[in-house]
Structure 1
Amino acid sequence: MTTRDRLLAALVVLLWGANFLAIHVGLQHFPPLFLAGLRFAIIAVPTMLLVPRPQVPLRWLIGYGLGFGTVQFVFLFVAMDVGMPTGLASLVLQSSAPFTVLLGAVLLRERLSPRQQVGIGLAVVGMAAIAVSRAQSAALLPVLLTLLGGLGWAFGNLSSRLALRAAPDANPLHLTLWMSVVPPLPLFALSLATEGPAADLAALRAAVTPAGLPGLLALFYLVVLATVVGSGIWTLLLRRNPAGVVAPYSLLVPVVGIGLSALVLGERPGAVELVAAAVIVGGVLLGTPARESLTRWNRPGWSTRSGGTSTLSGSSGPSAAATASRSRTASAA
């Protein structure tokens, strides 16, 4: 991996880590489900007009959009809206990695190596420690909602992986962009049903006032910088380098998220949460397949494309194919 590529990877980590700050600001100006719907709608319109649809089975494209784009962001945005700390959200969302490995083993009959089993176990212990710590302060619900968001991301991972297995020549960036066509309708429907049209219209009216400028800037960041720029650079890196070399960089996203949240928002995670964070990141890293286990993916037309999609999911998170999805993460967001 060249120095330039390492710097580009660091830039993506910074963009994705700051993504959670943008969500925090956006939620101060828009209802959570409405904000999620706007994010994907803004991407979906030019995608349908300008980007050719990848020829993957429609069921897996829809599954990708529902899992990654809809379920993940319903629970993540609501969790942050009801009190999930911004930095902690960037960490707990990493649960998508062990969830993806477990779902792959259960639903796709993929075999887990002893190393992966130990890594998953460590990640689960870390998540449980955070849940217990939060339960003592009566803030367990946001953690559980964020975990459900990670589970939705994991289902999206499996769907995108199956889509690329069925059509290995499909462009992974096109697949990720077309995934964005799926979430707007269910997200806007949920917003109308639970948040109400009055709240959505009030948010839109306020957005065009000077006071609403931070909300618009946050939305711009989510759409352009975190999704288009971040995902585009990550795809380029995965085309140039083995997925197993690039994917571990995504483990730095929660480090950046927690650091920026402490610096900008004054969030101070407790000692238990910091230790648990180290255990989770270590477990996810340990659960990443060893280089020799990547050989079956490293063949022309599969490894870089599948890796690209897996980590693109992380953009907004990162992740669908075997290697990168097991190491990462938002995309989130």
Structure 2
Amino acid sequence: MVRSDLFLAVFVMAVWGFNFSMIKLGITEVHPLLITAARFSLAVIPVIFFIPRPKVAWRYLLFYGLVFGTGVWGMASWSITAGLSSGMSSVLLSSNALISMAVGVFLHNEYVSKQKLVGAISVLMALLALILATNGNITPLGLIFILISASCWTLMGMIVKASKCTQAFAFNVWGILFAPIPLVLFAISIYGPSIVTKAIEVWDFNTSIAVLFQAYPTTLFGYWVWNRLLIRYPLSTTAPLTLLVPVFALASGYFMYDEALTVEQLIACALFLVGIGLIVKPRVSSGFFNTLTLRKKEI
């Protein structure tokens, strides 16, 4: 990866990490489902008029919007309201790599290398350690919500893959067109119509800043850059970069909200990210090493 693209990629990872603190900033008074609906409404309204609809069936866009909006970010935002710290929410969302691996094994009979198996064991051990060593930054309900979010991230990838769409950014924009309404209806079905009027009453400056940050730098700019990188470079190069997101999220949570981790949790987070890295990083084949050995002999 060229240096300019690497710097841009790291910047986007920082934006995505900081986004978890901005989610916490916005949902202190307004329900997270409505905050997420506002985020995607702002992200899609001005852009969709300038981007042609991708050549895929409407059902893929509909299900993508439902899963991406309500399943991934609705639940991730709700997990913070339910007591999960913003930094820990980002770390645990990375468990989608473990869930995706499990889906591949049990549904598609995919082969699991020793490297990925070690990574999976590391993630499970770290997850257990994080729960046992909690200092109040992990709650049972928050944990349930973030694991639902991680599962939906895997489902979202399956939808994109099934659509066979090559227009990644257009697919994302047109897909999130279907995100806001299900989020609002879900909130109303639980709390009644008064949840909307209450949100309007308590909406303040911090809420507006949080929504604007999530809509534009995080969603539009972040996914535009990320999709460009996915087109230019192999997934084996880009995927490990996402491990920087929890690092930036933990740092921003500490500086903005004084979200401290115990020593045990710091070690567990490191073990967790190492495990995820082993899962997403392709295994280097023995043929590669044989090639290097032959080249050394030739020299």
Query: If the length of structure 1 is used for normalisation, what is the TM-score?
Result: 0.79
The SS at the match of 1:180 is: helix
Aligned pairs for 1:112-123 (under 5 A) are: 112-123=112-123
Q: Which amino acid aligns with 1:175?
A: F
Bigger shift: residues 127-136 or 219-228? 127-136
| Aligned residues of 2:240 and 2:281 also touching (Cα < 8 A) | no
Structure 1 residues without counterparts, runs of 5 or longer: 294-333
Query: What is the alpha-carbon root mean square deviation over aligned residues?
Result: 2.2
Give CA deviations for 1:228-252 in whole Å, capped at 9, x if unaligned. 1111111222233222112211101
Q: Which amino acid aligns with 1:273?
A: Q
Bigger shift: residues 120-129 or 54-63? 54-63
* Superposition deviation, residue 32 in structure 1: 1.1
Aligned twin of 1:70? 70
* Superposition deviation, residue 154 in structure 1: 1.3
Kindly indicate whether residue 201 of structure 2 is the aligned counterpart of residue 225 of structure 1: no
Kindly indicate whether residue 271 of structure 2 is the aligned counterpart of residue 279 of structure 1: yes
Aligned twin of 1:177? 173
Aligned twin of 2:244? 252
Aligned twin of 2:291? none
Aligned twin of 2:147? 147
Aligned twin of 1:242? 234
* Superposition deviation, residue 264 in structure 1: 1.5
Aligned pairs for 1:36-185 (under 5 A) are: 36-134=36-134, 139-164=139-164, 167=165, 170-185=166-181
How far, CA to CA, are the matches of 1:104 and 1:33 in structure 2?
30
| Aligned residues of 1:17 and 1:253 also touching (Cα < 8 A) | yes
Aligned twin of 1:203? 199
How far, CA to CA, are the matches of 1:144 and 1:271 in structure 2?
24
Aligned twin of 1:13? 13
* Superposition deviation, residue 122 in structure 1: 1.4
| Aligned residues of 1:98 and 1:120 also touching (Cα < 8 A) | yes
Identity of aligned residues (%): 26
Structure 2 residues without counterparts, runs of 5 or longer: 286-299
- Whose radius of gyration is greater, 1 or 2? 2
Give CA deviations for 1:150-197 in whole Å, capped at 9, x if unaligned. 111111111112222xx4xx2111111122022222111011122333
How far, CA to CA, are the matches of 2:97 and 2:58 in structure 1?
24
How far, CA to CA, are the matches of 2:135 and 2:31 in structure 1?
26
How far, CA to CA, are the matches of 1:3 and 1:205 in structure 2?
47
Aligned twin of 1:298? none
The SS at the match of 1:269 is: coil
| Aligned residues of 1:47 and 1:178 also touching (Cα < 8 A) | no
* Aligned residues between the structures: 285
Distance 1:59 1:124, change over 3 A: farther
Aligned twin of 2:289? none
Highest RCO, 1 vs 2 (Cα 8 Å, sep ≥ 6): 2
Aligned twin of 2:256? 264
Structure 1 runs of 4+ aligned residues shifted over 4 Å read 135-138
